[in-house]
Amino acid sequence: MTELQAEQAAAVPQPEAGLQRSRYFDVLIALAAFAVLAILPMLTGSKALLDFVIRCSAFGLFATSLNLLVGYTGLVSFGHGMFFGLGAYGFGLIMQRTGVPVPVAFVATLVITTIIAAVIGAICVRLKEIYFAFVTLAFQMLIHSTILSWVSLTGGDQGLRGGIPRPAFFGIDLSNHVHLYIASCALLVIGLLLMRQIAQSPFGYTLRMIRDNANRASFVGIDVWRAKLTIFVLAALFASTGGIIMALFVSGAYPEFAYWTISGEGIFINMLGGVTTFLGPMVGTVLLLILNDTVTRLTEYYGIVLGIVILFFAIGLRKGLMDFVVEWYTQRRNGPVE
């Protein structure tokens, strides 16, 4: 048996046992990643690095959840940013107005997001392709306009002012920088792990089937609408969690969080990192934030640099970085093309 054949044999999924094993493997990787992130503050005194990781957590959860829609289900949402904004505002408002403990506000925000995402999703997922994209964009602008005009609740275009109170719970004090950092890392790792489980579950494979051929999926008895709606709501929950982290980071919520540019950034991160691998968007997030931080440090012509990078990925690589790396790696293992 040649190496190639062996490779192919190994790639044939062995249902139960294989799934179980890969799940343990994922959990192990997640634990290792969390351990590395958690000891980082002991190795470096750099607060900027911790800030960087906190922002990566917020945008990483957001972008990866968008990939559940774009990459796995083929739903290109242009309005995913609304759930990021919803998370930030929901959490900020609950903390400011009610003074409940942080975990309660966290759960309550997710409940609110679930309800709103279910309503919006029920309308949107009936539509396909560009119609879906535009209706999600329309809902996003609706939420953005609501935030702008409901001044008595949201503070209008000045955002939620006065800081978000964050009383300590279970010995965790989120106003402490290191505590916030650890909490963000934990949310990121748990979020990614959950999303990975969704992507690798039978439900995840159903989504891929819907992406590739929705008609066939419905012929084999899958309720396409329900599956799409389920993933729409699940993705919204993770985006909302990203928004909560961002709200904690800036200690406020601003209408820009629910603006279409955030959705655009999500799409761009996915382009940058690649949509065919699970970690593509996470890599894209790190890339974009590094790019953002270094370029704004060096020049005020950020837009032109970003434009060139987009061109490089769109025309030069024609795919995201992770897609490129994975392809390059398999090609290398399989030997040079004859």
What SS3 class is residue 46?
A: coil
At closest approach, how far in Å is the CB of 294 from another protein? Answer: 5
Indicate the residue among 78 and 257 with the shorter CB distance to another protein: 257
If binding is defined by CB under 8 A, does position 163 make contact with another protein? yes
Q: What is the DSSP letter of 150?
A: -
At closest approach, how far in Å is the CB of 53 from another protein? Answer: 12
Which residue stretch of 67-75, 97-105, 126-134, 300-308 sits at the interface with another protein (rule: CB under 8 A)?
300-308
At closest approach, how far in Å is the CB of 112 from another protein? Answer: 21
Q: Which of 71, 88, 256 is nearest to 156 (CA)?
A: 256
At closest approach, how far in Å is the CB of 297 from another protein? Answer: 6
- What are the helix (H) ranges across 155-312? 177-200, 202-212, 214-219, 224-250, 260-273, 280-298, 302-311
If binding is defined by CB under 8 A, does position 308 make contact with another protein? no
CA-CA distance, 268 to 281, in Å (whole number)? 9
Query: Six-digit token pair at 285?
Result: 């997030």
CB 100 within 8 A of CB 108: yes
At closest approach, how far in Å is the CB of 108 from another protein? Answer: 22
Which residue stretch of 49-57, 66-74, 190-198, 232-240 sits at the interface with another protein (rule: CB under 8 A)?
49-57
Among positions 255, 266, 280, 284, the unique one binding another protein when judged by CB under 8 A: 255
If binding is defined by CB under 8 A, does position 87 make contact with another protein? no
CB 277 within 8 A of CB 284: no
Indicate the residue among 144 and 196 with the shorter CB distance to another protein: 144
Which residue stretch of 15-23, 114-122, 232-240, 290-298 sits at the interface with another protein (rule: CB under 8 A)?
290-298
At closest approach, how far in Å is the CB of 51 from another protein? Answer: 6
CA-CA distance, 69 to 55, in Å (whole number)? 22
The continuous run of DSSP H or E covering 109 comes out as helix 102-124
CA-CA distance, 302 to 311, in Å (whole number)? 14
Beta carbons within 10 angstroms of residue 240's beta carbon: 29
At closest approach, how far in Å is the CB of 105 from another protein? Answer: 18
If binding is defined by CB under 8 A, does position 303 make contact with another protein? yes
Q: Using CB under 8 A, count the residues that bind another protein.
A: 47
Contact partners, residue 83, CB within 8 Å, separation at least 6: 113, 117, 235, 236, 237, 239, 240, 243
If binding is defined by CB under 8 A, does position 156 make contact with another protein? yes
**Distance (Å) of CA 9 to CA 13, 19, 211:** 9, 16, 26
At closest approach, how far in Å is the CB of 49 from another protein? Answer: 7
List binders of another protein among 315-334 (CB under 8 A).
316-318, 324, 328
Which residue stretch of 18-26, 191-199, 272-280, 314-322 sits at the interface with another protein (rule: CB under 8 A)?
314-322
Indicate the residue among 21 and 161 with the shorter CB distance to another protein: 161
If binding is defined by CB under 8 A, does position 144 make contact with another protein? no
CA-CA distance, 129 to 141, in Å (whole number)? 19
CB 84 within 8 A of CB 252: no
**Which chain residues interact with another protein by CB under 8 A?**
44, 46-49, 51, 55, 148, 151, 155-159, 161-163, 175, 246, 249-252, 254-257, 261, 290, 292-294, 296-298, 300-303, 316-318, 324, 328, 336-338
